Structure 1
Amino acid sequence: MWHELKEPIVRLLDQSRDALHIHFGLIIFIAILVALRRHPKAALIAWFGVLAAQVGNEALDLHDWFFWTRGWNWRDALRDSLLTLIWPTVLLVLITVEKRRRRGD
């Protein structure tokens, strides 16, 4: 189960799951941004990379949750997604605005 793979990371880092969503969202965004730094759409690609990782994570979480409860926990999935994407979204907007400002748009 996905939960069993993630649990050692939670224990090792001694952070709340909410904090880990924030941290991993930023780590993924920055890693992709640095890897693609010369690409004109690096920030947008990085944001979609975080989105893809989060969708995959939540799909696996929902699978586990359904296995345990025979239901879906949409509220937690939405909260996790918002926490994961909030700072990458802020950075994407700031990077986009700065690029437009430099071009004179």
Structure 2
Amino acid sequence: MTPTRPPFRTLPALLLSLGVGLCGYYGQKWYELPTYSEEDIAASVELNLRLDLQRRGPHLQPDAAGLARMREMVQAEVEGEIRRERDQVQLRFGVGLIALVLGLGQLAAQRLLARV
């Protein structure tokens, strides 16, 4: 008969390894996220606006007020995409931290209960 590990000792190891893996991977992703300046965002807005206007064709071009509204919408989309990307990486990094804390808590609880 082969010896097996008790299941209550496997949970902290799984949580710790999951936490370290998630924190390491998404911590690196967070570190590598680019920082966008106002000029970068403005250039992206203008490029996306030009592409949208080209897709519309010459007969569906907006007036000055419509162009300003389109520019605001495109800027909101660009800033929203940047924010979504950053939030997603930070959320997954946070999940890794939670897994680490839970794993350490399980490990500490097992050690304390083993003494009793």
User: Per the shorter chain, which TM-score range?
Assistant: 0.3 to 0.5
Higher RCO (CA < 8 A, seq sep 6+) = 2
Structure of larger gyration radius:
2
